[in-house]
Structure 1
Amino acid sequence: MPSSPGVTHTAYLMADLSIDLSQQAAISFEKEPARFRDVIFQSLKRAVDASKNTEITEENLQKSLIDALNESFHDAPVLRVVFTRISMG
């Protein structure tokens, strides 16, 4: 994922990830997979766009994703995010 148009710095992020879901989150995912993908994409996009001022680290990305997903799905907590492959630049 590259920086957004209008962002003056160049950054990219490529990642494969695995998400451990609570039972309620798994049910929500089955009902709304596109919503999960959108929350994940937007969270990672914000990290790339903010990378000029904030260092992108695996730990920061994990926390951002968990926070974004748990904020979007209040009754369906995400338990853990694990990056199986990550490349940043």
Structure 2
Amino acid sequence: MSEKVMFFVNYRDVFDVSARMRLEFKIDYTKLRDILLEDRNLERAYLFSANKAPLSDKSKEFYQTMEDEGFEAVKILLKGGLTEKEK
């Protein structure tokens, strides 16, 4: 059983803050990828965000990049979510 690593990302580092005026958050996937790739030891990254939208082309590209870089799973969860426990 692999240990799950909680990885918290400061939303100001990865979200387009100007999008707040439209009452939505948009992820800057380039910044997010760069932050994640700084630590190659992460097996799984759980990112807390305020957005649970369908995958855009940009986010699909991001997930593919993470998979190519050897991440087992990258999940975007609702902001304020609780730690997922192994079942």
- The alignment's TM-score, normalised by the length of structure 1, stands at 0.29
In terms of fraction of residues, the more helix-rich structure is 1
- The alignment's TM-score, normalised by the length of structure 2, stands at 0.29
Higher relative contact order (CA 8 A, sep 6+): 1
In terms of fraction of residues, the more strand-rich structure is 1
